[in-house]
Amino acid sequence: MKIRRTAQAAAVLAAGSLVLAACTSPSDDDGDTGTTGDDATQTEDAGGDTGTESTAKADLGDIQTVEGNIFYSTGQDEFTGYNSKTADTYSTYNNVIMDRILPEGFFYFGTDGTIYENEHFGTAEVVSGLEGDDPLVIEYTVADDAVWSDGNPIDYADFLMEWVSQNPAWLFPEDAETPPFNHVSGTDYTQVNVPDGPQADSFDAKTFTVEYAEKYPDWRLVTGAYLFPAHVIAEQIGITEEELVQAIWDEDVDTLMQAAEFWNTGWLSSPGEVPDPAIAPSGNAYQFKEGGWTAGQSITIEANPNYWGPPPATEELTFRFLDASGHVQALQNGDLNVIEPQATVDTLPQLEALGDLVEIQTGAELTWEHLDFNFRESSAFSEEQGGLALREAFAYCVPRQQIVDNLIKPIDPEAVVMNAREVFPFQDNYDEVVSAAYDGRYDEVNLEEAQRLVEESGLETPIDVRIGYSAPNPRRTNEVELIKSSCDQVGFNIIDVGSQDFFSNALPAGDYEVALFAWAGSGQIASGQNIYSTGYPQNYGQYSNETVDQAWTALSASLDPEVHLEQTKIIEKELWDTLFGIPVFAHPGVIAYTAGMENVRHTATQNGVAWNAEQWLLAE
């Protein structure tokens, strides 16, 4: 499973897990998504592309859609409906489908996390705020021919509805128990970043402005990331689109409560029931195919004839609901054309054994493995129990180098132990950040020091340490075995409590001592605030540190790369000094596909190989 950080917190998270605000998003194999990264406009190739190849989408010229069907699978989970942005439906499984149907927005991630303008959708121009004390104001213009597949223009009403669905303060007062909109991004976008919402002169304007309360560095990743058709919501509650906009302007809570009810439930589906195009129009290159969903097996989408941008290369895409353990065999059999398996020591040999039937790409990813401590009072690592001494003891006995050597280097010979959280070993400023934050003391196992610290903690041994993760996951099982073989020697009793429902139950409930998972991201700058700051939604272990909180506040309110770098150094040092958790390695990535296919490209970002699926083309 993966938890995606949102655009704001991880829009990335997916504003916050693709990017946008705080949220968790179940996915398949290895982790969770959230984005970590340095400069959101970086140009370095961190995604495994070679030479001078652009990391942006390819310009395919005057392409014409050809007949055919390409088969792909993210995993076995069933599709749940058109609205993949609720707290209950936000997942890699749903997003990989809906990212082909809902509007792409003003920007997209290249293969290395570089943020590119999506000129087919529209433009975003900075009016003020890049320098000086003026507020950050962005003017957005949607392409004149951008329409939903039912012909209704994509316009200001859609963006205003996107904003209000993230629960502004007037709609969701602090003393209320539950937000009206069950939105994965929570309330940060409306209550912290853009409290007044998008501004325009009319409900159907193609141009509007957004003013940020602070100089938010990830502003490119927020507006347009959660776009749904406002005109459909209006129709479903018995008013016009213009009346819906007026209701938002008037802060008409009663009307918006009706809108929230439809937003929360009206776009969900029962297995096998294709969403009705009358309420689930497309704003992208593909649309749902009538009768294309076979419950428990697959769902097919087809080219949207009313799409104004470049047409998709292939008429149909079918997403199979297939367990990841069967993907290599399915590729060999021709039941899948593209796969993105977990990169284990067995993956490459299995794929290479298929010979000329497949093509393989590998590359570094903006996804990283980590061990996070539980700071709740019930945990042995809390300040009330073993405290920092016990956390240090654990850090000294975890065999990080052995984990990398045994499990990662067979896939990526250049792999190293990762010693930061917000920058990656293949990024230019990694060494500078690490040298300012960490002295290397935990790079090698030191059982003698670990045992001394266990004794210093004052806890009676053996000390039970439950390591939780999303199971089944062979690589994580192996990691826990290696940790147990080392740490049990110094007074710990490592217990493997991997479970299928770890992300939905044990992680949010704090039913573990150490959580083993991954954050996956793209090019966000400020999304880590959602993970490490006191009281934030993705701070599952309830860590709290005033220095870290202040540094994230400073970083997330600045557009200056130097400020980002200096605050990152402060954050990383404090996280090491207090041992929030232990980074382990950056994930290696592997994709494989039917030989001769065109435009299948590995990406380092959380979007996965399907990031440019509309460009995939089978061999003739």
Question: At 357, phi and psi to the nearest 5?
Answer: -70, -25
Low-confidence winner among 277-291, 318-332, 483-497 (lowest mean pLDDT): 318-332
Tell me what the pLDDT averaged over the chain comes to.
Answer: 89
Residue 409: phi and psi, rounded to 5, are -60, -30
pLDDT given at position 91: 79
Q: What percent of the chain has pLDDT over 90?
A: 75
Query: Which amino acid is residue 286, in one-letter code?
Result: Y
Distance CA 19, CA 510 (A): 25
Amino acid identity for residue 425 in this structure: P
- The pLDDT > 70 percentage for the chain reads 92
Query: For 68-94, what is each residue's pLDDT tens digit?
Result: 999 999 988 899 999 999 888 887 889
| pLDDT for residue 170 | 95
Given CA atoms 101, 106, 109, 113 in this order, what sign does their dihedral have? negative
Give dist(CA 136, CA 312) in Å, integer: 36
DSSP string for residues in 277-308:
TTTS---SSEEEEEEEEETTTEEEEEE-TT--
Say how far residue 51 (Cα) sits from the centre of its chain.
27
- Note the pLDDT of residue 88: 83
Tokens in use for 512? 């573990």
Q: What is the CB-side half-sphere exposure of residue 569 using CA atoms within 13 A?
A: 13
Tens digits of residue pLDDT in 345-382: 888 899 999 999 999 999 889 999 999 999 999 999 99
> Which tens digit of pLDDT belongs to each residue from 200-237?
999 999 999 999 999 999 999 889 999 999 999 999 99
On whether the CB atoms of residues 322 and 333 are closer than 8 A, the answer is no
Do 53 and 538 meet the contact criterion of CB atoms below 8 Å apart? no
Going by pLDDT thresholds of 50, 70 and 90, the confidence category of residue 15 is: very low
**Structure-token match 């994230």, residue found:** 552
Q: How many angstroms separate the Cα of 297 from the Cα of each of 93, 267, 515, 593?
A: 13, 21, 32, 20
**pLDDT interval class at 131 (50, 70, 90):** confident
How many C-beta atoms surround the C-beta of residue 191 within 10 A?
A: 18
| 158 has pLDDT over 70 | yes
pLDDT of residue 385: 98
Q: Compute the average pLDDT of residues 154-161.
A: 98
Q: Is residue 9 over pLDDT 80?
A: no
Q: What is the distance between the alpha carbons of residues 68 and 365, in angstroms, rounded to a whole number? A: 30
Residues 6+ apart with CB under 8 A from 581: 370, 371, 372, 373, 541, 575
